[in-house]
């Protein structure tokens, strides 16, 4: 979503850092370009005006102008200001001591409320909670059936109630949570295609009936400034506590995410990229600002690795890794960890310079590469996975046929695996002897 804006800003910064000294004219020229980049990204005009003015005021200070690296200092100022624009610090759910806690979701039809309800319930269950989803969208066809289907998939209960009164369903849903010992209730309310008085009145009535601990508005990041205007209307009538920004993996310009905090005064609490239950994540303004400026988000990548268990392995596997004798089964387990971390595309997006790397890959990350590798390994016998050296020509043909690939693909995987083991042995040898000079093998082909 932020690729175009990120590219524009990085080009502006490259021009700044290429100059030994900066004067006010250089700063003003950069500010004009930043202003145009933000406006083209559909950021609210007033927000852009205040942002650029704040950056310029700090950038023309004596400390910056007399610095040996003024360009880098301007970049730091832009980063700090963008972090402040997005909310400065992570805003967490504020829950009370009562049981059950109630969270109410509001927003327009099509913003992703029902999916966000499921994702939030999934996140809370991972935190040890016992959530109940309450389906109050009695207007959209199959909305309740959709939530029930999602609930069955995740084994999280859904309360649909009786009748067509959303307020009555919400109230009885909270009572049902008490009766079934559920400590969290997530109320999925109805939306409309646009803001109208009937929707607002219903949202207010549900709020007054269930007295939610938190009201979260689900905003579709793809709708640009319209999303900001809708959020402002909800903030005035319903007074929500925070925003769930959905569809951040889309190809819109991203102006809503950069504008909504400043316009409504409400923080973005969660952001969602993708349809999977685990795709909802806490929103960190500083990390998002770094991603927008092309600095990556390595902290989030490390957290995903830890959550996926990528840093953990059983004692036998650890010992094999230590001796550089890991097997193709170990290799397979690492692929599973990559998938848990969002796949190759998710990992690349978190790396510094992700935009440039994606362009070098022609904008595409071949996620099917992992599928092919898995298929090849699954087509091997236990003995072949344990000792790939026994895989001769006839075995390679059998594995290729069983996995639906060419013999060349099998050969390539085995070569990459052998090179990896060889490299690890060199590391082991170097760490053991201290002064031994390492020679790295040539990079294997990357057909996968």
Per residue in 60-88, pLDDT tens? Answer: 876 666 666 777 888 888 888 888 888 87
Residue 315 has pLDDT above 60, yes or no: no
CA-to-CA dists, residue 67 to 52, 61, 74, 302, angstroms: 21, 10, 10, 34
Other CB atoms within 10 A of residue 153 CB: 11
In degrees, to the nearest 5, what angle opens at C-alpha 417 toward C-alphas 411 and 418? 90
Residue 251 has pLDDT above 80, yes or no: no
User: Which of 232-246, 284-298, 343-357, 378-392 is predicted most confidently?
Assistant: 378-392
Look at residue 17 in the predicted model and tell me its pLDDT.
78
Q: What digits encode the pLDDT tens for the residues 136-152?
A: 988 887 888 889 999 99
Of 417, 363, 411, the residue nearest 387 (C-alpha) = 417
Mean pLDDT, range 287-309, rounded to an integer: 62
| Class of residue 436 by CB neighbours under 10 A (exposed 0-12, middle 13-18, buried 19+) | exposed
Residue 279 has pLDDT above 70, yes or no: yes
Find the range with the poorest average confidence among 109-113, 278-282, 332-336, 402-406.
Answer: 332-336
Find the range with the poorest average confidence among 115-124, 182-191, 201-210, 276-285.
Answer: 276-285
| Class of residue 225 by CB neighbours under 10 A (exposed 0-12, middle 13-18, buried 19+) | middle
Mean pLDDT, range 286-290, rounded to an integer: 82
Look at residue 305 in the predicted model and tell me its pLDDT.
54
Look at residue 76 in the predicted model and tell me its pLDDT.
85
Mean pLDDT, range 370-389, rounded to an integer: 87
Q: Which domains are delineated in the chain?
A: 3-86 (1.20.120.140), 101-292 (3.40.50.300), 302-433 (1.10.260.30)
Whole-angstrom Cα distance, residue 16 to residue 198? 52
Query: b/e map of 78-114 (b: 16 or more CB within 10 Å)?
Result: bbbbbbbbbbeeebebebeeeebbbbbbbbbbebbbb
CA-to-CA dists, residue 52 to 30, 37, 48, 49, 90, angstroms: 10, 11, 6, 5, 23
| pTM reported for the whole predicted model | 0.65
Q: How confident is the model at residue 360 (pLDDT cuts 50, 70, 90)?
A: very low
Residue 281 β-bridge partners: 271
Q: Looking at beta carbons, which pairs linking 425-434 to residues 24 or more positions away fall under 8 Å?
A: 425/324, 427/324, 428/322, 428/323, 428/324
Residue in the structure block whose two tokens are 């760490």: 431
Other CB atoms within 10 A of residue 308 CB: 17
Other CB atoms within 10 A of residue 124 CB: 20
Residue 189 has pLDDT above 50, yes or no: yes
Look at residue 435 in the predicted model and tell me its pLDDT.
44
Look at residue 66 in the predicted model and tell me its pLDDT.
67
Look at residue 448 in the predicted model and tell me its pLDDT.
41
| Class of residue 224 by CB neighbours under 10 A (exposed 0-12, middle 13-18, buried 19+) | buried
The answer to whether 104 touches 214, Cβ cutoff 8 Å, is yes
């Amino acid at each position: 979503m932020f690729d175009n804006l990120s590219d524009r800003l990085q080009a502006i910064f490259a021009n700044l850092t290429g100059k030994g000294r900066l004067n006010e004219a250089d700063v003003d020229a950069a500010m004009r370009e930043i202003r145009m980049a933000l406006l083209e990204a559909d950021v609210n005009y007033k927000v852009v005006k205040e942002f650029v003015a704040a950056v310029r005021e700090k950038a023309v200070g004596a400390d910056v102008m007399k610095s040996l690296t003024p360009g880098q200092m301007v970049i730091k100022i832009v980063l700090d200001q963008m972090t402040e624009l997005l909310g400065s610090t992570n805003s967490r759910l504020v829950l009370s001591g009562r049981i059950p806690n109630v969270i109410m979701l509001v927003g327009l039809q099509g913003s992703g409320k029902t999916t966000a309800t499921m994702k939030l319930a999934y996140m809370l269950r991972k935190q040890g909670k016992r959530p109940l989803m309450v389906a109050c969208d009695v207007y959209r066809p199959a909305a309740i059936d959709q939530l029930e289907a999602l609930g069955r998939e995740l084994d999280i209960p859904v309360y649909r109630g009786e009748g067509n009164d959303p307020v009555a369903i919400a109230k009885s849903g909270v009572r049902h949570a008490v009766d079934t010992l559920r400590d969290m209730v997530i109320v999925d309310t109805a939306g409309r295609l646009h803001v109208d008085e009937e929707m607002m009145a219903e949202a207010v009535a549900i709020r007054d009936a269930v007295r939610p601990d938190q009201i979260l508005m689900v905003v579709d990041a793809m709708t640009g400034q319209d999303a900001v205007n809708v959020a402002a209307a909800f903030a005035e009538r319903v007074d929500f506590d925070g925003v769930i920004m959905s569809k951040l993996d889309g190809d819109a310009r991203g102006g809503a995410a950069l504008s909504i905090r400043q316009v409504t005064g409400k923080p973005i609490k969660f952001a969602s990229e993708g349809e999977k239950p685990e795709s909802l994540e806490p929103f960190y303004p500083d990390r998002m600002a770094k991603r927008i400026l092309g600095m990556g988000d390595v902290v989030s990548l490390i957290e995903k690795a830890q959550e996926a268990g990528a840093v953990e392995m059983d004692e036998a596997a650890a010992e094999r890794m230590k001796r550089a004798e890991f097997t193709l089964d170990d290799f397979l387990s690492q692929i599973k960890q990559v998938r848990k971390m969002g796949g190759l595309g998710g990992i690349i997006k978190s790396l510094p310079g992700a935009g440039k790397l994606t362009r070098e890959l022609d904008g595409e990350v071949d996620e099917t590469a992992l599928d092919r590798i898995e298929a090849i390994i699954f087509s091997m016998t236990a003995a072949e996975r344990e000792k790939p050296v026994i895989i001769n020509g006839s075995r390679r043909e059998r594995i290729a046929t069983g996995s639906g690939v060419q013999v060349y693909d099998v050969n390539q995987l085995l070569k990459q695996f052998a090179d990896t083991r060889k490299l690890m042995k060199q590391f082991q040898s170097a760490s053991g002897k201290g002064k031994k000079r390492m020679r790295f093998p040539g990079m294997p082909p990357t057909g996968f």
